[in-house]
Chain A
Amino acid sequence: DVKVTQSSRYLVKRTGEKVFLECVQDMDHENMFWYRQDPGLGLRLIYFSYDVKMKEKGDIPEGYSVSREKKERFSLILESASTNQTSMYLCASSQSVRKQYFGPGTRLTVT
């Protein structure tokens, strides 16, 4: 069965800290995505990657960067965490641009 795992379910960080969120998929999918989910706003795309070492900005990339050194792993980096980055972060993977498989999410709180 398809599986997308995220490194942490809950994370609490201080303002200004560098934060790493990791995502691993076991389906050999080409595409991987990072979203943030906020009440009333749905899922907003931060970055996506369609191949190793390739990345594209999504709709809200400011304050974030990503890394994809291996096909199965896609990392989201908050260079200097701020309180407005408190959110649920969801990773997804897909073979096409259509059906996406999501991880369980990481709830990040920045204090």
Chain B
Amino acid sequence: QQQVKQSPQSLIVQKGGISIINCAYENTAFDYFPWYQQFPGKGPALLIAIRPDVSEKKEGRFTISFNKSAKQFSLHIMDSQPGDSATYFCAPGGGGFKTIFGAGTRLFVKA
């Protein structure tokens, strides 16, 4: 089975700080690299996604950085807020292959 490794498992950040979550994958055929955000009692929802032809994508306070040669991509949350406290999943897929979800990162932003 294709592996996806997400780190860290949990993260505590002060309000206003930067949260960084990393994801490593194996399948070089993947062509879609999303991050999902899940609040307690809810299903995951797509937060931001990137295609492999760009190295960075920014949407508001959320940025994906993509390193194709290292087979890694990361989520950066700038100016982290308590409302960002949630579980985040990377979920690379596409290119003819199923999506594989990472194990998740629980983020807690301290007020």
Contacts and interface: CB of A to CB of B under 8 A. Distances in A.
Contacts of A100: 46, 91, 99
B65 to A, nearest CB: 19
B103 A97 contact: no
Contacts of A4: 43
Interface string A72-85: 00000000000000
A92 B42 CA distance: 12
Contacts of B34: 98-99
Interface residues of B, number: 23
Contact of B93 (A41, A92, A98, A101): A98
Interface residues of A, number: 23
Given A97-B94, A102-B43, A102-B44, 17 more contacts: A35-B101, A40-B104, A42-B89, A42-B102, A42-B103, A48-B98, A58-B98, A92-B43, A97-B99, A98-B32, A98-B34, A98-B99, A99-B46, A99-B49, A104-B41, A104-B42, A104-B43
Interface of A: 4, 35, 40-45, 48, 58-59, 90, 92, 96-105
25 contacts: A4-B43, A35-B101, A40-B103, A40-B104, A43-B44, A43-B89, A48-B98, A58-B98, A90-B44, A92-B43, A97-B93, A97-B97, A97-B98, A97-B99, A98-B32, A98-B34, A98-B94, A98-B99, A99-B46, A100-B46, A103-B43, A104-B42, A104-B43, A105-B41, A105-B42
